Homo-oligomer: A and B are copies of this chain.
């Protein structure tokens, strides 16, 4: 259970001023057991609830992108119509539930390492990520 002062230090280390909005955002994002996925709108709601006070949408966008640039957050592309972010910034795979639009992390045991046999000259591989799209199985098997 990290305390706010950790977030203050964390923000300072990265060159961001620890304002009350950013600290609240850190609490919402990082004061939890597990990493999670969210959209900007999700996040605005969560912060507003925890603050009993509105936070400007622009601030959330700006700070999310600042965090992303610093490697505190990662953007996930599964749906070209919506931006998802992930507090799990490591390279990892996902299940995406097409019914609920829920993103689920895979841990390393869930998917064997992907073997890339092609290499493109002059280019290095930055990441290899698998997206498994799932949906409810309505094949009523007899």
Contact B114 A114 (CB under 8 A): yes
In the complex where A75-B80, A114-B112 touch, is A123 in contact with B129 (Cβ < 8 A)?
no
Interface residues of A, dominant DSSP: strand
Contact A122 B98 (CB under 8 A): no
| A 106-142 binary contact with B (CB < 8 Å = 1; else 0) | 1001111011111010111111111111111101000
Distance in Å from the Cβ of A23 to the closest Cβ of chain B?
Answer: 27
Contact of A116 among B76, B110, B125 (CB under 8 A): B110
**In the complex this chain forms, how many copies of it are found?**
2
Contact A126 B133 (CB under 8 A): yes
A-B contact list, 5 entries, CB within 8 Å: A110-B116, A110-B117, A112-B117, A127-B132, A127-B133
A95 at the interface (CB under 8 A from B): yes
